[in-house]
Amino acid sequence: MATQRVAVIDYGMGNLHSVESALQHAGPCDVVVTDDPAIVAAADRVVFPGVGAIGDCMAEIKRLGFDRLISEVVTSGKPLLGICVGMQAMMEGSEESGGTQCLGLFEGVVQRFPGGVDEQGHTLKIPHMGWNTVQQSMPHPLWHGIEDNTRFYFVHSYCVTPTRSEVQAGVCEYGLPFAAAIARDNIFATQFHPEKSHVAGLQLLTNFLNWNGSC
């Protein structure tokens, strides 16, 4: 069997070395971090990460033509994994940066956490940073070998609320319920960082390397 070719899209936003390293630990694969559309198009599967302000991210995505490229990846049927701001960028728009138009791959918006206190009276600091429990809300190949209510690592100030609940693959709670993962066809995206989530995160990445892009 030929080695999997995995392209990690580089548009200047995120610690891509940690994603690359985690994928290499997850299973046999040839990982390349690249801003070359031809390399992304030739890959067997694609990872779309991101951290930072969505306005800056979307500006670079559009400047480099990755908005069109990501749409082509979706149409091709090859597995696509979004991580953190990569997931947020897949929505219609975000409140961040005064309102930012995103890729529109999923219906729904990205909103800032309201903060406040939880049911126990603990202050909900923003950003939401650290480990939190993810409840799986649909069966999916990327959940293989991962128990429901497993904890994953998050760092974000904004959260996703999909318009259609059926695309919500995982749910988390931080003052309000929000989408920890979304999925449709050959797309799976996580608000949490699998590359920072130890055993469960590596299992999810292993599942991604084994996934044929079908739910």
Rounded CA-CA distance 147/31 in Å is: 27
Rounded CA-CA distance 123/137 in Å is: 27
Rounded CA-CA distance 48/9 in Å is: 5
**In 3D, which of 8, 67, 37 has the Cα closest to residue 209?**
8
Total H helices, total E strands in the chain: 6, 13
Q: Is 129 helix (H, G, I), strand (E, B) or coil?
A: strand
Which of the residues are catalytic? 84, 193, 195
Listed in order, strand segments (DSSP E) in the chain are 4-9, 29-34, 45-48, 80-83, 93-94, 100-101, 108-112, 128-136, 150-156, 158-162, 168-173, 177-184, 187-190
